[in-house]
Chain A
Amino acid sequence: MTDQTVTSDSGSAKSAEQSSEFAASRLAGGDGRDAILEVENLRMYFPVKSSGVIRRTVGHVQAVDGVSFQVPAGGALGLVGESGCGKSTTGRLITRLYQPTGGKIMFEGKDIAGLSPKKLMPLRRDIQMIFQDPYTSLNPRHTVGAIVGAPLLIHNVVPKKKVLPRVQELLEVVGLNPEHYNRYPNEFSGGQRQRIGIARALTLQPKLLVADEPVSALDVSIQAQVVNLLQDLQREFDISFLFIAHDLAVVRHFCPEVAVMYLGKIVEIADRETLYNHPQHPYTQALLSAVPDVKQAAIGGRRERIRLEGDVPSPINPPSGCRFRTRCPLAQEICAKQEPPLLQIGERHKVACHFAGEIGQHPTKPVTARLLGIDDQGNPDPGATPDPNAVEQPGFADTWYDVQGGHLGAKA
């Protein structure tokens, strides 16, 4: 569904530039294969209990509230956002450590959102996870051999005698000394521990790996080594990745496609080139302004640092309308009244903002109003009919809305 030829707006130089980037992105990862994972309107509400003997549910943490995305087979999707925005929760939903409150998780075409633990068992081999903290993700009382070999024993895939050779093979694959299978995790450094965690995740030869901030606990000097290892593994074993990170710098080298999350929702998702060079959501723009940009530094220019004011609001009681409005420099009346839909605005670009546009070029009128059947202040407009297509979908459609000129309309 990704390699449908689409005529882009040949009138503008910018689009021409974009289309060459699209081609690059397809080579980099999209490569036209079907999605291995398709997440649709995924939600996770954690109940908040009152204290006391009778613990009533007094509210919900809306950790993940309706996210949709695709992970292409053999590709990698980056998931980026500030602390607490629901990235880990999303990862844990996909690996089914949590039971989702709602939504679909289509893995190889099969919805796994509601499967019982028993039915999940065979799936556990296909979807594995690399954890954030290498100091708590390995049982300190188990040897490396026991940790890496555990999946084999639990799933009974090889006879007991064959476990050790396989463990040693895996240790070698991740760049550890295979003779060290008898050691305990505390004898290894952070980077080496993360390698052990990666070996464990690889043991069952998964098809999809959820990497939850796999390098953020590591020294900067080791981060690159581990990312490179993951990249090699992806190529060698044809593994798809959902790569979670809290800043855009790390995913840049790994993921041809990146989704930006804010307070339980995806606010912008695009191929790497578009997202880094032409972000349209004010939140993405703010995140990017914090990333040192080598190219711009080389030509003497500097991204202006956009400082976000205030704190992330509580996911128990998120702001009405656009969740980012409490900190958004562009927020207007409509933002409080209407939630902006995640609109596809380019071949591989979606954004959820009433005033989507590149830095300094944000439109003055909400681009979404007509679509939603509302006026520019966000009040229902009896004259307009909402567009039924303006709902969030996991993948990218062949048609999208052109917001560049400030007008809306489907383009073929």
Chain B
Amino acid sequence: MTVPVTELESHVTAPPGEEPDDSGVQKVAGRSPTQLALARFRKDKLSMAAFCVVALYVATALVAPILVKTGVLDPLTLHQDLLDVNMGGIPKGSFGGISADHWLGVEPGTGRDVLSRLVYGITWSLFIALSATFVAMGIGTVLGIISGFSGGFTDSVIGRAIDLTLSFPSTMMLLALSGVAVAFMTGTLQVPAGDVANALYVILVLGFFGWPGIARIVRGQVLSIREREFVDAARLLGASRGRLYFKEILPNLWAPLLVYFTLMMPAFISAEAALSYLQVGVKPPTPTLGNILTDSINYSVADFVFFFTPAFLIMIIVVSFNLLGDGLRDALDPKTHR
């Protein structure tokens, strides 16, 4: 798929005052493995396109709150006048009420601006998916490193914990505990009720059930990294466990972590949507991609544009993230596709 940058291309002049040895193959002065990977990635057009979409998505999520504050976007104001009361609240006009004021039409039943809701929904989705990814990756990475590095009993215990988490009927739990847990957070933990508490619940649940995959991947990587002599060298210097884990080993994991990150994000974006459908998570009128999609499903026949847009948007985002992840994996680990 991609063409690896040849050593020749990166063969910058050797720094002065060095022994003229080892036939110069290793002398790729000024090109770290990261830079080589970036060069490979840039040559991969599909991945670059995916990267642009993801970048646009993130940028949108960042500016949306500002646009809402300044009134450019208005996800909450009701426009009953734009709805056809006789048709059960379907927007007036064709294509879901698309007009100069409402580029993607208005929401059936409420008349809120669909574009504003989607854009602001992106912010909430990103926030939830990102936070959940961080929670899952944080737990998974730390436990994976400890598991792979320690081996023996610790490894077995963490292995069992992984099995247990994977076999846990998490969706059922999630639904059953939703009310209790949110009440606990708002009551005992003083978390602001409403959107914040609901979002936090989704984040924690996704995070706590999402770590096993990353833990397994990290563990596998650590098993091979710990055999390398630099780990022995650090041990020999009397490095503490913390230093070994986070200074020696963790920096060597960022490639798989980055790939896993880009694959976990879309999974959690979809998961947020699925949970919304099950009435867990941030509730309307605050928009998330999930609750907009849930809402839209009721209008599959009556308002096709409204039904189609959120689904299409989620699909684009998820596919782009996945393509980005694949492209990164290829670029970072050229062995897999050469």
Determine if chain A interacts with chain B.
yes
Binds B, one of A17-25, A137-145, A373-381, A395-403: A137-145
B95 within 8 A of A: no
Binds A, one of B23-31, B53-61, B82-90, B200-208: B23-31
A41 within 8 A of B: no
Asked whether A124 and B238 contact (CB < 8 A) given A137-B229, A186-B28, the answer is yes
The contact of A139 among B30, B31, B238, B251, by CB within 8 Å, is B251
- By beta carbon, the residue of chain A nearest B240 is A154
A219 within 8 A of B: yes
CB-defined interface of B236-258 with A at 8 Å, one 1/0 digit per residue?
11111001000010011000000
Bound Cα distance A188, B22 (Å) = 10
Give residues of chain A (72-92) contacting chain B, Cβ–Cβ below 8 Å: 92
Asked whether A222 and B238 contact (CB < 8 A) given A139-B248, A177-B16, A200-B233, the answer is no
Bound Cα distance A192, B20 (Å) = 10
Which residues of chain B have C-beta atoms less than 8 A from A128's C-beta? 236
Bound Cα distance A176, B16 (Å) = 10
B70 within 8 A of A: no
Is the CB–CB distance between A132 and B229 below 8 Å?
yes
CB-defined interface of B28-50 with A at 8 Å, one 1/0 digit per residue?
11111100000000000000000
Is the CB–CB distance between A225 and B16 below 8 Å?
no
B234 within 8 A of A: yes
Give residues of chain B (311-336) contacting chain A, Cβ–Cβ below 8 Å: none
With both chains docked as a complex, state the minimum distance between the C-beta of B196 and any C-beta of chain A, in angstroms.
37
Which residues of chain A have C-beta atoms less than 8 A from B29's C-beta? 187
- By beta carbon, the residue of chain A nearest B232 is A97
A10 within 8 A of B: no
With both chains docked as a complex, state the minimum distance between the C-beta of A169 and any C-beta of chain B, in angstroms.
16
With both chains docked as a complex, state the minimum distance between the C-beta of A217 and any C-beta of chain B, in angstroms.
11
Is the CB–CB distance between A138 and B230 below 8 Å?
yes
With both chains docked as a complex, state the minimum distance between the C-beta of A226 and any C-beta of chain B, in angstroms.
10
Which residues of chain A have C-beta atoms less than 8 A from B337's C-beta? none
Which residues of chain A have C-beta atoms less than 8 A from B16's C-beta? 177
Which residues of chain B have C-beta atoms less than 8 A from A151's C-beta? 237
Asked whether A184 and B32 contact (CB < 8 A) given A137-B230, A191-B21, A219-B21, the answer is yes
Bound Cα distance A92, B32 (Å) = 32
Is the CB–CB distance between A150 and B19 below 8 Å?
no
Is the CB–CB distance between B21 and A221 below 8 Å?
yes
Which residues of chain A have C-beta atoms less than 8 A from B251's C-beta? 139, 141-142
Is the CB–CB distance between B237 and A175 below 8 Å?
no
In this complex, the interface size class of chain B, counting residues with CB under 8 Å from chain A, is: 20 to 34
With both chains docked as a complex, state the minimum distance between the C-beta of B106 and any C-beta of chain A, in angstroms.
52
Which residues of chain A have C-beta atoms less than 8 A from B234's C-beta? 139, 150
- By beta carbon, the residue of chain B nearest A146 is B247
A155 within 8 A of B: yes
Which residues of chain A have C-beta atoms less than 8 A from B248's C-beta? 139
- Most A Cβ at <10 Å: residue of B22, B28, B228, B232: B22
Other 19 A-B pairs with CB < 8 A, given A139-B234, A204-B237: A92-B232, A117-B238, A120-B238, A124-B236, A131-B232, A131-B233, A133-B229, A139-B251, A140-B33, A155-B237, A155-B238, A176-B18, A189-B19, A189-B22, A189-B24, A192-B21, A192-B22, A218-B22, A222-B22
Give residues of chain A (103-159) contacting chain B, Cβ–Cβ below 8 Å: 117, 120-121, 124, 128-129, 131-133, 136-142, 150-151, 154-155
Give the 4 A-B CB pairs with smallest separation, nearest first. Answer: A141-B251, A189-B22, A137-B229, A136-B228
The contact of B252 among A140, A176, A186, A192, by CB within 8 Å, is A140
Asked whether A186 and B26 contact (CB < 8 A) given A97-B232, A150-B234, the answer is yes
A180 within 8 A of B: yes
The contact of A190 among B22, B236, B239, by CB within 8 Å, is B22
Q: List 10 A-B contacts (CB under 8 A).
A: A95-B236, A129-B232, A150-B234, A154-B238, A176-B18, A177-B17, A186-B33, A189-B21, A204-B237, A222-B19
Which residues of chain B have C-beta atoms less than 8 A from A188's C-beta? 26-27
Give residues of chain A (220-254) contacting chain B, Cβ–Cβ below 8 Å: 221-222, 225
The contact of A175 among B19, B239, B252, by CB within 8 Å, is B19
Is the CB–CB distance between B21 and A141 below 8 Å?
no
Give residues of chain B (199-232) contacting chain A, Cβ–Cβ below 8 Å: 228-230, 232
Bound Cα distance A177, B240 (Å) = 30
- By beta carbon, the residue of chain A nearest B32 is A184
- Most A Cβ at <10 Å: residue of B26, B29, B237: B237
With both chains docked as a complex, state the minimum distance between the C-beta of A316 and any C-beta of chain B, in angstroms.
20
- By beta carbon, the residue of chain B nearest A222 is B21
Which residues of chain B have C-beta atoms less than 8 A from A124's C-beta? 236-238
Bound Cα distance A129, B21 (Å) = 24
Bound Cα distance A92, B233 (Å) = 11
With both chains docked as a complex, state the minimum distance between the C-beta of B6 and any C-beta of chain A, in angstroms.
16
Is the CB–CB distance between B26 and A141 below 8 Å?
no
Bound Cα distance A177, B18 (Å) = 7
Asked whether A97 and B237 contact (CB < 8 A) given A175-B19, A189-B26, the answer is no
Is the CB–CB distance between A136 and B26 below 8 Å?
no
Which residues of chain A have C-beta atoms less than 8 A from B19's C-beta? 175, 189, 191-192, 222, 225
Which residues of chain A have C-beta atoms less than 8 A from B15's C-beta? 177, 180
Which residues of chain A have C-beta atoms less than 8 A from B239's C-beta? 150, 154
Which residues of chain B have C-beta atoms less than 8 A from A219's C-beta? 21-23
- By beta carbon, the residue of chain B nearest A200 is B233
- By beta carbon, the residue of chain B nearest A191 is B21
Which residues of chain A have C-beta atoms less than 8 A from B33's C-beta? 140, 186
Which residues of chain B have C-beta atoms less than 8 A from A204's C-beta? 237
With both chains docked as a complex, state the minimum distance between the C-beta of B245 and any C-beta of chain A, in angstroms.
13
- Most A Cβ at <10 Å: residue of B27, B230, B232, B251: B230
- Most B Cβ at <10 Å: residue of A124, A151, A189, A192: A189
With both chains docked as a complex, state the minimum distance between the C-beta of A17 and any C-beta of chain B, in angstroms.
40
Bound Cα distance A140, B37 (Å) = 15
Is the CB–CB distance between B252 and A141 below 8 Å?
yes
Which residues of chain B have C-beta atoms less than 8 A from A132's C-beta? 229
CB-defined interface of A171-214 with B at 8 Å, one 1/0 digit per residue?
00001110010001011111110000100100010000000000
The contact of A121 among B23, B31, B229, B238, by CB within 8 Å, is B238
Which residues of chain A have C-beta atoms less than 8 A from B18's C-beta? 176-177, 189, 192
- Most A Cβ at <10 Å: residue of B19, B32, B232, B236: B236
Is the CB–CB distance between A139 and B252 below 8 Å?
yes
Is the CB–CB distance between A154 and B252 below 8 Å?
no
Give residues of chain A (267-282) contacting chain B, Cβ–Cβ below 8 Å: none
Is the CB–CB distance between B233 and A129 below 8 Å?
yes
Bound Cα distance A120, B237 (Å) = 10
- By beta carbon, the residue of chain A nearest B22 is A189
- By beta carbon, the residue of chain B nearest A188 is B26
Which residues of chain B have C-beta atoms less than 8 A from A150's C-beta? 234, 237, 239
